Amino acid sequence: MTAPGNVGRIGCLGFGYAVPTTSRGNDDPVFDWIKKHGGGAGMFTGYTTRRVLAAGETIEAYMVQAAQTALSAAKLTVSDVDVLLGYTSISAYQSPNSLVLVHQLLGLAPTCWPIPVHADFSNYSACLLFADALIAAGRARNVLIVCGANWSRFVSYQTPECISAGDGAGAVVVGATSDVTRFRVADYAVTEQSASYGAMTMQADVVSSAPPWADRAPFAGGSFWDTSTYTQPYFRLSAAGGAVFSQFGVKAPPALALHLLQRNGVDPADVTVIPYQASAALLDAWRPAIGAAALLDTISQFANMTSANLPVNAAYFAEQIKTDYVVLLGLGPDPHASALLLRRNG
C-alpha cells in the first residue's frame, strides 16, 4: 500500500462497458399489454431499442466483461486490484450481493475486498468518491469499480415504466497516475428528499397471507416466522412516485449541477454532462436548464439501465469528451439527486 500523503494525482485509468446483444424494439410483443391499456403517457419517452438479457444470460457475465475491458485499458491485471467496489442490481440473493461472484469470475485475489455500494442509482458516483478517498488515504493502490443492472427482468410489463428497462454493465479502474489528462474526482453534491421514501420501490407482491395458525406460538405476531408467499420483486412507481418524477426529478438534478459548478467556479459552457437517463422527458428539461457544452446519453439505443446508466455511458463516451470538466448527474428512487464533478488537466 502507498503511505498516506504520498499518493499524488489520482485518476480514472481505464473504462469498460458491456451490454447484451439481444435488442428489444418498441414493437416487441412484450409491450402489447401496456400499449393496449395505456398509462404513463409522456413520462417514459425516448427509447427506440433497449438491450436485454436473453434466456440463460446473467448480468454478472457482462460485469466481468466490462471489468476486463477497463483493466485492459488501464494496462493492469487482476493482481493489481486491491479493492472491488460496485453493485449488482438486482442480485440473485438479497445477501450477499453478487459482486462477490464477479470477484470470483474475475479471479481477483483473496486479499481484494469486494464491497457492494448500494446507492441506487448513483452507485457509480459513490464508488468513484470512495475509491478516490481510499487511494488518497493510502489504503489502496488500484480500485476496480463495476456496476451492473438487469432490471428488464424486474419490472411488471403491465406498468408504464416497463418500456424503459434495459440491461448493461460498466466499469472503471481508479489509481494513482502522473497523467494529467486522466479525469479525477474534484467535488460532489447531493440533495436527498427522504420525506418521499416509499414513493418508488423494488418489492414483491404477497400471493397468499400467513395461515390461521400463524398467530400461535412460536409464530405469534409474525415476528418469528413469515409464512406468506410472494412474487419476485419488481419496480413500482406509486402515484406519489409519479409526482416525485415530474417535480423533484425535473428540477432538483439541474439545480444541483449548477450549484456544484458555481461552488467550483466552473462555467457550465465548459462542462460535459453525463446524466441518468430514465426518460427523454427529463433530459429535455435538464439540457436547457444546465446549459452545458454537451449532454451525452444513449437513451435511444440502450434505454434506462438504472444503476448502469452512468458507468456504461462514462465508458461509452470516454474517448469523445472534449471538455476538461464532466458532471455525472444521478437521480435515485429514495429520491435523491447526485452530482459528481470530474476534471482533467489544470
Q: How confident is the model at residue 6 (pLDDT cuts 50, 70, 90)?
A: low
What share of residues in the chain are helix, strand, coil (percent, to 5)? 35, 25, 40
Q: What are phi and psi for residue 344, nearest 5 degrees?
A: -135, 165
- CATH 3.40.47.10 residue ranges in the chain? 10-176, 184-197+240-343
Topology of domain 10-176 in CATH is Peroxisomal Thiolase; Chain A, domain 1 (3.40.47)
C-alpha cell, 41: 403517457
DSSP 265: T
Residue 109 to residues 199, 229, 297, Cα–Cα distance (Å): 40, 39, 35
Q: Are 335 and 200 in contact (CB under 8 A)?
A: yes
- Residue pLDDT, tens place only, 143-183: 999 999 999 999 999 999 999 999 999 999 999 999 999 99
The C-alpha angle 227, 233, 239, rounded to 5 degrees, equals 110
Classify burial at 147, counting beta carbons within 10 Å of its beta carbon; exposed 0-12, middle 13-18, buried 19 or more. Answer: buried
Residue 154: strand, helix, or coil: coil
Pick the CATH number of 184-197+240-343 from 3.40.47.10, 3.40.50.720, 3.40.50.620, 3.40.50.300: 3.40.47.10
* Residue 57 backbone phi and psi in degrees, to 5: -90, 155
Q: Around 84, how many Cα atoms within 13 Å sit in the side-chain half-sphere?
A: 31
| 2 has pLDDT over 70 | no
pLDDT band at 39 (very low <50, low <70, confident <90, very high): low
Residue with cell 428540477: 251
Query: Which of 53-62, 169-178, 224-233, 332-341 shows the lowest per-residue confidence on average (mean pLDDT)?
Result: 224-233
Using alpha carbons, select from 134, 151, 67 the residue that is nearest to residue 104: 67
Of 16, 20, 57, 15, which is closest to residue 301 (Cα–Cα)?
A: 20
CA distance 301 to 316: 12
pLDDT tens per residue, range 252-292: 999 999 999 999 999 999 999 999 999 999 999 999 999 99
In the three-class reduction of DSSP (H, G, I as helix; E, B as strand; rest coil), residue 284 is classed as helix
Q: Say whether pLDDT at 14 is over 50.
A: yes
CA end-to-end distance (rounded Å), the chain: 27
